Chains A and B, each alone.
Chain A
């Protein structure tokens, strides 16, 4: 995934607690109100400059699920109503991450 950073302006990099990197569309990442603020707030925060955000408190498998949700949410908004399955084991952690990311 790391190789796909050609279109830098359109993509952002999300880094998990363990250091795994997810490069996703900026549009998808902005499903999260928190990430939207991070990438659009004025004043030149490092996230805006580098196009990447590190989440030291979100583990890799949760962040992966979050990214899946971003894409699912875009699809859902465009009228494609599929089910988004959440395994019961991760519900609590995912819920907290979702709360943190406001999505």
Chain B
């Protein structure tokens, strides 16, 4: 009983935010609200927001008790909201990221909020240099996020008055070296994000003046030389032209452990890395970068995460990875020229590998016998490869070996992606041996009912992707999902009829089924029902929530940090303007576990 001690509190919060009527029945209890402990008030406010019950004048009742307000992604937030928020005398943390309604004058309301320590204005594009003036009366600010706002160098220079800042995100702002020079008084800075700014090598020299700086993002800048920075642990130089990264005295300071150089161009990669104290590095992303020699890897013996996707790595060069493979947890070889001949080199040396990504390579079934020698593997991506599920021992094809059965040696495997491979129905059966599998992704024009049934027995499967196959109504009807299965993705499966899908959904109410016709089905239903009625079907409820998560913001919280660096600057700005084209692209289920953030 001690364990669920907070249950009554949670039940009260749920009841208080059940619907608009409930709110009306307690919002006049001013005295009680004034005495409400901050963490309860914060939780109640959060719950009201999630249920879309929050409106400006309701905020007023919280002004004495709330300490944390998160309204990120709420496009309706404007000056009216801000006036109420301005009266929150204990407010410690205010998140207005992606609130496009917030402009300079709305910021006036936050003047003099002495308790405010953390303020997120990321992507509030209507905030400009003038808006920063309103913030100057908040002297205790410790964390400030103003990336992709309308700020310029002039505005950025005002930031130097926040002497307590430890975290500053100025990503995507056209600020120049001049701004950076003015910031050197912020000696407490630990985190500085300058991606996409106009900082050059001149400005970068100032970075050594920040004694505590441990995280630095210089992606998409013109910086080519990174000076000696005493505490740096994580450095992002993606899409830069890199000449040198200054060596650091590892004996005195925490050494550089994480380096992202996605899409970077190196003057001399060997030279850059030879000067780094690479033996402490645990995370390296050199995807899409123009590297031809991989000898520098030989010194990075502690690497756990290595992203080599879309580089020029080949079977001949993969020995460099094998050489330092003992600690590797993740290896990304997507979009490379690696073939099945490269895998024998890796097998036996990357024994701790948990994630192996080989999508868009030309590997075939012979690779599977080597992959099956990686005992710790959790996530395996073989999509868009030449895997067909059989190994022919002789030309007549008489001695066909089910190559997928080799994967049963991977006793921990949780996620397997076989989309757009050459698999046919007769090759699928061995997949039923992968008892620990939680996520399985299949997509092929050639798979049919048989394959769906073959994998239906997997006991721990939570997500089953079976896209583009030939599924019949009967095939779906006799498919019996195991209790763990929460999502069945049959998008692009043809032959299925509306009736079959809807009766299947009724039979399995806990299962989320994804299909083009279901979305239409739901649209019809929500028209006929009133949206406010209690959500009888969990399916509909989920749809509603998802809409709320997606529609206001551009990216769901979970992944935006990673997605950002994967696009070129132009692409990024393009994305910013377009509605979310394909929600599946950034759905958390699709991500390898290691990349997911909760």
Direct A/B contact, Cβ within 8 angstroms: yes
Residues of chain A touching chain B, judged by Cβ–Cβ distance below 8 Å, are 30-33, 36, 66, 69, 73, 77, 84, 86-89, 91-96, 98-99, 102-103
Taking CB atoms, residues of chain B closer than 8 Å to A84 are 11
Among A33, A86, A87, A89, which residue has the most Cβ atoms of chain B within 10 A? A86
A-B contact pairs, 26 of them (CB 8 A): A31-B1, A33-B1, A66-B8, A73-B8, A86-B12, A87-B15, A87-B25, A88-B15, A88-B22, A88-B23, A88-B25, A91-B13, A91-B15, A91-B26, A92-B26, A92-B33, A95-B9, A95-B13, A96-B32, A96-B35, A96-B37, A98-B6, A98-B8, A99-B40, A102-B6, A103-B5
Where chain A touches its partner, the secondary structure class is: helix
From A31, A32, A36, A92, B16 is in contact (CB under 8 Å) with A92
Whether A69 contacts B26 by the Cβ 8 Å rule is no
Taking CB atoms, residues of chain B closer than 8 Å to A94 are 8, 12
Whether A92 contacts B29 by the Cβ 8 Å rule is yes
In the complex, what residue of chain B is closest to A101 when comparing beta carbons?
B8
- A96-B37, A98-B9 are contacts. A89–B32 as well, Cβ < 8 Å? no
From B2, B12, B36, A98 is in contact (CB under 8 Å) with B12
Taking CB atoms, residues of chain A closer than 8 Å to B33 are 92
Residues of chain B touching chain A, judged by Cβ–Cβ distance below 8 Å, are 1-2, 5-9, 11-13, 15-16, 18, 21-23, 25-26, 29, 32-33, 35-37, 40, 44
Taking CB atoms, residues of chain B closer than 8 Å to A77 are 1
- A31-B1, A91-B15, A96-B36 are contacts. A103–B8 as well, Cβ < 8 Å? yes
Bound Cα distance from A87 to B447, whole angstroms: 54
Whether B11 contacts A30 by the Cβ 8 Å rule is no
Bound Cα distance from A86 to B26, whole angstroms: 12
Whether B16 contacts A91 by the Cβ 8 Å rule is yes
Taking CB atoms, residues of chain B closer than 8 Å to A96 are 32, 35-37, 40
Whether B26 contacts A89 by the Cβ 8 Å rule is yes
Whether B5 contacts A92 by the Cβ 8 Å rule is no
In the complex, what residue of chain A is closest to B15 when comparing beta carbons?
A86
Taking CB atoms, residues of chain B closer than 8 Å to A103 are 5-9
Taking CB atoms, residues of chain B closer than 8 Å to A91 are 12-13, 15-16, 22, 26
From B5, B12, B25, A95 is in contact (CB under 8 Å) with B12
Whether B22 contacts A33 by the Cβ 8 Å rule is no
B59 → chain A closest CB, angstroms: 16
Taking CB atoms, residues of chain B closer than 8 Å to A89 are 25-26
Taking CB atoms, residues of chain B closer than 8 Å to A98 are 6, 8-9, 12
Whether B8 contacts A93 by the Cβ 8 Å rule is no
Bound Cα distance from A93 to B35, whole angstroms: 10
B278 → chain A closest CB, angstroms: 50
- A84-B11, A91-B12, A96-B35 are contacts. A33–B21 as well, Cβ < 8 Å? no
Bound Cα distance from A102 to B22, whole angstroms: 24
Bound Cα distance from A36 to B2, whole angstroms: 9
Bound Cα distance from A94 to B23, whole angstroms: 15
In the complex, what residue of chain B is closest to A66 when comparing beta carbons?
B8
Whether B37 contacts A99 by the Cβ 8 Å rule is yes
Taking CB atoms, residues of chain B closer than 8 Å to A88 are 15-16, 18, 21-23, 25-26
In the complex, what residue of chain A is closest to B23 when comparing beta carbons?
A88
Identify 17 new A-B residue pairs, CB closer than 8 A, beyond the known A33-B2, A92-B12, A95-B8.
A31-B1, A33-B1, A87-B25, A88-B15, A88-B18, A88-B25, A91-B13, A91-B15, A93-B32, A95-B16, A95-B36, A95-B40, A96-B37, A98-B6, A98-B12, A103-B7, A103-B9
